[in-house]
Structure 1
Amino acid sequence: MTTNTLSPAHNIFAAVRPALLLGLFCFIASLFCLALMAIDNHLSPIWYASAIMTAVIFRRRGQQMTLLLLACMVGTLCANLAVFGPRWPLFSFVFINSLQSLLGGYLLRILLKPKTALDSLSSWWKMVVAASLLAPLASGIMALCWAHFSGGAPSLRFFSTWVLSEVIGTLALLPLCLLWQPRYLRLQARQGQFMVTLITLAASLLLCFVALRFLPWPFTFVMVILFWVAVRLPRLDAFLVFFANVSLISLLLALHLIDLRAVSLAFTLTAPWLPLLLILIPSHIMTMVMHAFREEKKHIRASEEINRRLMERITLANEAGGIGVWEWDVIRNEMNWDRRMFAIYELAPSVEPTYPFWLSRLLPEDRPLAQEAVRRALEDNIPFSLECRINTRHGLRYIRTQAESLRNADGQIARLLGINQDITELRLLTEALYREKEQMLITLDAIGEAVISTDEEMRVTFMNPVAEEMSGWTQEQAAGKPLGDILRITHGVYGPQIENILRCALPGVVTDPDSDLVLHNAAGEHFAVEYSLTPLKTQSGKNIGNVMVMQDVSESREMLKRLHYSASHDTLTRLPNRASFEHQLKRLLLSASERQQQHVLAFIDLDRFKAVNDSAGHAAGDALLIEVAELMRHRLRSNDFLARLGGDEFGLLLTDCEMNAARQVVQSIVTAINDYRFLWESKLHRIGASAGLTSVNRDNCQSSEVLAQADLACYHAKHNGRGQLSVYETRLQRAPQAELSPEEQARIIDTPPRWQAWAVSTPNKTQSANFHLLQPRLINAQGHETDVADFRATLQDETLRLMLDQRLIESFFALYAPGIARKGLNVVLPLAVESQLNTAWQKTLFSHLDASTLRDDSLIISLETRMLLQHSEALHSVLLRLRQQGCRILLRDFGRNLEAFEQIPHEQIDFIQLAPDLTANVHFNLMDEMLVSIIQGQAQRLHITTVAGPVDLSMTLATLAGIGIDAAWGEAVNGCEPLSILLENGFFAIK
């Protein structure tokens, strides 16, 4: 006897094989869908992957479902990567598709039975509503929200394309996935149906291709072809053919092989794939109806063969339409009812129906109407038609009764032959539609936008109250008038009027807010507006009117103006800021170069301002700057440009001005500031001003050059005693500083550095330190401290730079690492990226880490953001090894480049330290505050901790805390102290 036992590897392959096949199918389907983006290059116009994952969730349970779903997601993601390359938004789209599939799959679990998923038209409708409507709408909203929060510019077209692609893909593929069985092809081949299906599939594809390419009204012919398929093939075979034809049609649309010139341009641009819905839905319904027909036919065949044809028609008519047939012999007063009549009136078949009995079943208030209808039918020969009500076990029912009179040979009415139909659902639907219409009108009255409906000739047919208020016209006054007569829209408040509203904003396109459209109403008021015009079309494509939605954007436009002002002006003094100054300087340099104009640039620096700021406080300093700015502004010409460059420094551009005239203007400003007395809290303060001037002409039109000349002239004025002005001359050039020799540089490197530590704390909890930022300082030959970054920039020899980094690492690990480990501190160690690229230096660093007693997570490595982005690939393995050693990574000097979030390896980054210029003015600069808020939101989404500093003012710290910055450092948090003193303090020392 032998035993055939499968190996564990074979068992694993048997379990994983379905997932691999399904993942491959998802990859091919997604790749096909992504290839269809020829018409709309933002999103795929048809999407199959969500339908596959929805079917997996509906049909599978437990670990098998998880494995199959993961395979589908991997296949979809691989297809996206193959088309678009590695981009992190692809993960978001795949995740949203997965959420949509989870929602659709679990809704199908609630609504449908697994073994009879699509056994009726009702179950098909449940599938359409749950998986093809609700789930795509939910995913479309999620995608719209994601695009908004990720910094994109979401639109209605993005949302409609997303939802439409999911709806079409789900309708095309989900029924096939729900009905598919593993041995279906083998069963079809055994029953001889396989060849029929293949022939029908080939014929339908060929006919559809011919219709779409060469026949007029091609989608009408396609619908006829698919109807033929629905009638000819069983349910699953028909859905398979539909899927193949939809894929073919979408391919032809993407390749522009279908002529859509007869369709409106707006339709071609926004929804060229919409005809797929118009052919899919009727074809599906026909298939389900034919399936129900075939099932009913099988049931009828089991009855007696002699009555088969007659009973088939009667049963189908009664069951499908809910119709009961009755006959009344008036002469003999005999009445016959069919089975459906007894069911409608909830009577047993043994009851003998009569005319009085029928009247007794009606509600008392409906009996007189019934008797009058019978009398007119018998006496006046008027067709019998009546709507009446009856009471049943299920409540009140509405019955429609119709009959025709049949005469005998003598011409007398002998019989009435009629039908009864339960129209309760139709009546309730009519009432519901009426209620929905009322709710729609109430909603239109309640929404905040103005809504105006017009006919096809742009005459007003409806206005909601907001439209009445904004236009100054009531609906009764505006009814029938051209839209242009009641809406006066101009470019700007005093600009020209728009002659044609349709030309200003194409249907379905919202106007650009920069166009500054203003609506003037009949009462003389005006509103900043945006509007859209959407055509109303019938199913046949006929335009029956337009809907205009108009929004009052006065507040948002005012906010944009304030933001623009904040970006170009200093918040404190209301003068233009440095950015505006540099822009104006570029314009003057261009005019000096091209038109040979003469201008003057002046730097004005306040003297003794720091003394006022230190003695009287920052509030006094701010008030002094405001008063000085106003004092200077009154002494300028109309075309002069004064800006605050920062702190107590001001820049002045004198346009089209000779140097002598400029000297007089600047001298008057300097004299006025020197004579100015500032009174604060009963104490008098005296300041002064020093100014430097330089010419801007065709021989001197380089921005960096004129700025350096003005700065040098201002320095010379201060050096000569302050309170005066100086004009740039060549002799003022500073003598270049003597460069250090390599021996002197090496001597400084060999001198042990001094390490300083800044405590980093949560902004609202500055009493405790989360960790410490370390800053090494070098000692030069005169005993003065030198910043390491500045000294490193002077080193031309790469060997000296590596020696410097080597010395800093050895000093840290030999002198301070044991004390840090003993006290259990968390510290940030700054390293140069250039050294990280050196293999020998890497070995040195990791040998120190291996030998150190520091706790795994106590050391945070700080790297410069700009250098990391330049060498991200080369540093990938170094970062991985550092994290394996337990080190955390901090990126310092993270600036205004938000695209860095997409470029940094965020899964390996724990902290980002904002650049100092981002936080210096965040407490009064709205643009900086908004940018820091965006960075904080992006970092929080990526689970990265944000660090800001140096923070010297308490108001800056409060602003950062309000934004949600995780940690801060600086004088306002906790001062700097030598690392040696920090390690010597007691464990519980409190500052």
Structure 2
Amino acid sequence: MLGIALVHAVLMTIFVYDLVERQSHFLHQQSLDQARSLARSLAANSTSWVLSNDVIGLEEIIDSQSTYPTLEYAMVINPDGRVLGHTDTDKTGFYLIDNVSKRLQKSNSLQVLIDNNRLVDIAAPVITNGNLIGWARIGLSQERISEGLQIVTIKGLIYTFIAIAVGTLFAYLMARGLTGGLRQLLTIADGITHGQRHIRANIDRHDELGQLARDFNQMLDTLNENEFKIWLAQEKLAESEERFNLAMQGTNDGLWDWDINSHTVYYSPRWKQMLGYSEQEITESRDEWTDRVHPDDRPLVEQHVKDYLEGNIEHYEQTLRMRHRDGTYRWHMERGIAVRDNKSKAYRLVGTSTDITEEKEIERQLFDEKERAMVTLHSIGDGVITTDEKGKINFMNPVAESVIAYATQDVLGKQLDEIITLKNEDTGDPVENPIRRCLEQGVVVDLEPDTLLINHREIGHAIEDSAAPIRDQEGRLIGAIMVFHDVAVTRQLTREMTWQASHDVLTGLINRSELENRLKKSLDSAHQDNEVHTFLYLDLDQFKVVNDTSGHIAGDELLKQLAFLLQKQVRESDTLARLGGDEFGVLLNRCNTDRALKIANKLRDAVNDFRFVWKDKAFDTGVSIGVIEINSKSHDIAGILSSADIACYAAKDLGRNRIHVYQPDDEELSQRHHEMQWVTHIKKALEEDRFILYAQSIVPVSPDSPYREHKEVLVRMLDQNNNIVPPFTFIPAAERYNLMPAIDKWVIDNAFFYLQKNPISITINISGNSLGDNDFLSHVKHKLHEYQIEPSNICFEITETSAITHLTTAERFIRELKKLGCRFALDDFGSGLSSFTYLKNLSVDYLKIDGSFVKDINDNPIDYVMVKAINEVGHAMGIMTIAEFVENEEILKTLRTIGVDFAQGYGIDRPSPLIG
């Protein structure tokens, strides 16, 4: 029996140590869980301080963790291992060089760094907007935790020794009847070993076995009581720390803590104070908050809370109005964070409330001031009048005072109609006051065109005007503003430009576009009234000699003198026009061929007798004239001009300074003598690939320009001896006989092939014939796809005349290729100026100002004004400008002053082969 007692004593010892070991494991697991909780809490509370680099605030947060009894250290480090805050402030600012820190550079989730008998070290990531900005580390001492276990362990050992002594001492007694009780104790010990902590020994005896059972029960009670006390202390500490850490997020603001399950809310004293209430006047009901939200804000506010709790939005932050105790509403900014369970369901929402009423008031005032200031600032240099919502004047700027001839103080509170009259400048009809309509409809109102403002002194001012509503922050109409500027100069310039749109700037004669309009009227009268008219096509015979020997200035002067001379030879009812270059046209109304020949001879004789003197040189001149009758059999304007041109060339082929009347069978003769020769040459050159590409640079005018240089691609033809044929030699024939589409396609193919290997920006000229070719647009699209060219590197250049002549096809061509990303330039812009009317229909990116204006810009004020006007119109329409014929630095400086975007000419770069 003594052996049995000893065996039982040994089993008791094993049981006690097993229980102690389980208790130690339980406490260790509790400390590990607590370390995780503390690390996460420290990470959440440190975010704003890490972002603001506030070391003091960060160390206050860390210091709050030091109340935990087993804390060894707490710290916050950045991803590189630099200590941003530490319970030991001497370590702040230094770098950790342990292997643990290096591990953190490779992760962004919670890490167990150390877990041994001495220390537990947990690191939690500090993350904002998905980005890792640091780590919060908590170290708990296992040695301190084990101290709490020592009490239990010592008692366990005492009871163990007691059990061994009692077992040995009373072995004999156990042999005589105690075996049953001991078996019961062994059964209970085995059950506790398997986790049954609440069973007890039920031995109601007064001997040593009963005392042993009572001691055994007391030992279990002591162990469970200590375990419960430790657990309860940890729970209270965790709750206290959680509330403290959440409260820290609302420092200096009102704090609220909503327990969603119990429907109660904790309101901090500061929250109550902001709304004018004492501590006792606010209960813990959520209605205390809801009832004070402004009725207009309440639906949106409640929806925002709902969306956040359901996880539909990431952050809880909103601006709302809260009712103060005095009945006024104060603006509050609320921010909060939800506490969620393991299923992400929110059971608490904790946050802060900040009074931002003063900021909102300042914001409103700034908005009102900014609204007025912005409109006024945009009106500098223009007249500005503002009114209240009833249309009464409350402000005029100095420009408005000057035009209206009243000082502001003299018209305050008056209606605008009382001090000015608005009329149409052309008809004299009254014009509606735009202020009145603006206030009635609440929209921006533009003044009618050609409006004249007449002040009380009966002085009229040509103005352009608009009226716009003025609104407060809530969108209420509080007045209107009328902005106007004097456009007398602009209207005068418009009249001049209208004149120039139908006249040649150099000679003052009717230009080609206007001539075509008059030809159309004559053709209509020939078809409808059977009238007969005659058209003369004049081409000077010696003009090129003047240009080549004395320059363009001399050539221009010759043209002006001849224009004056020719004008005196025709009737007032006739039309003399400059068609371009050294070509003129004369439309003789109600004049048959016989009578027209007499006028043609007068014109030829006048030119032939004229002797042009330039400096020390004298030049003889001559003119070849083609004559065509316009009658009911005439087909169209293009046919008339072409036929007259053919007759003119026939006159040149017959010896120059002649007159030739067009007959239907003259076309073959003309082709034999001149153009058909070139047609043959051009076709053969296409077959033998005897064309080459040249390029000329187009550069930004300003050295600070954000735009980049690009090149214009130019085509040259080679004769059979590989000599360069100038474009002006073969291009006219190619255009006249519709060979330009084939040449343009050759240019497209070879330019795109070059761009495939050299991705630069280039400009390619497109002729009017190509615009009218149905296959040309498809060819361009196909080659863009074939060569995989970046469309934005391609700019197609179309002359003003071609665009207007083929307006419909030009619009389609531009529209289709701009969809792909190509750009467009309008060449020779300003040569006719009628294109101002068409420009709004042509979506181009560049205007190339005609070189005839640019080359004399420093000597001719009209040329300067024209370039400036074209540049301003282009910029007003969002179109960049390019000046041609820039031949020297002086012209470039003037263009830079005007604000032209690009320049091209011999002063910039001479054409050279594109492929060296």
User: What interval of TM-score do these two structures reach, taking the shorter chain for normalisation?
Assistant: 0.3 to 0.5
CA radius of gyration, larger in: 2
TM value normalised by structure 1: 0.43
**Counting helix residues as a fraction of each chain, which structure ranks higher?**
1
TM value normalised by structure 2: 0.46
